[in-house]
Amino acid sequence: MSGGWLPNARPVPSPNWDERPTGATVNLLVIHGISLPPGSFGGPWIEHLFQNRLDPDVHPYFRDIARVRVSSHLLIRRDGELVQFVKLQHRAWHAGVSCFEGRDACNDFSIGVELEGSDDTHYEDAQYEILARTSREIIDRFPDIRPERIVGHSDIAPARKTDPGRAFDWDRFRRLIA
């Protein structure tokens, strides 16, 4: 990792980040699922969203989210391409209102990985392989992230989020990182 960027990731810097609070220890990995528009894969829309360049006129769904300022550290596309938006040591804006083990504001102490997908569409083999490899690399650099501290967005924001959804095979993923 050079300057917080993973060498095997395509860098697409997002302006949607800030410094973590002083003394914050990164000890949580959050797995997300995203597709834009919902249920559609491919295209530049996720990158545009994380770069504040999403055109609200392209799709009706985009009108409601075009001005939202969000990001994730990483995105794994359907074909396994790894894209990085925020340096790992910085705070990406991926979790929103969230809580893990009684601690609010999960962005302060987590790394967010988006999988291009949806709750009801099985994720691709390449995504599991890249997610496992990338997770092991992150754990090597942030040893306080233990396997039990790898969670879904739905685990830290259950009242408002369902991703990565029932289509994500947690058992398969955990076998791959073991």
Q: Strand 82-84 to strand 74-76: parallel, antiparallel, or no bridges (unpaired)? A: antiparallel
Please report the domains of the chain, with CATH numbers, ordered by start residue.
10-40+71-177 (3.40.80.10)
pTM of this structure: 0.97
Are 47 and 12 contacting, i.e. CB atoms less than 8 angstroms apart? yes
Residue ranges in the chain modelled with pLDDT below 70: 1-2
Instruction: Give the residue numbers annotated as catalytic, written as ranges.
Output: 114
CA distances from residue 11 to 52, 59, 112, 126, 150 in whole angstroms, order as listed? 16, 26, 15, 19, 23
pLDDT digits (tens, 9 = 90+) for 38-87: 999 999 999 999 999 999 999 999 999 999 999 999 999 999 999 999 99
Q: What is the pLDDT of residue 98?
A: 98
Q: Phi first, then psi: what are they for 74, rounded to 5°?
A: -140, 155
Q: What is the pLDDT of residue 1?
A: 45
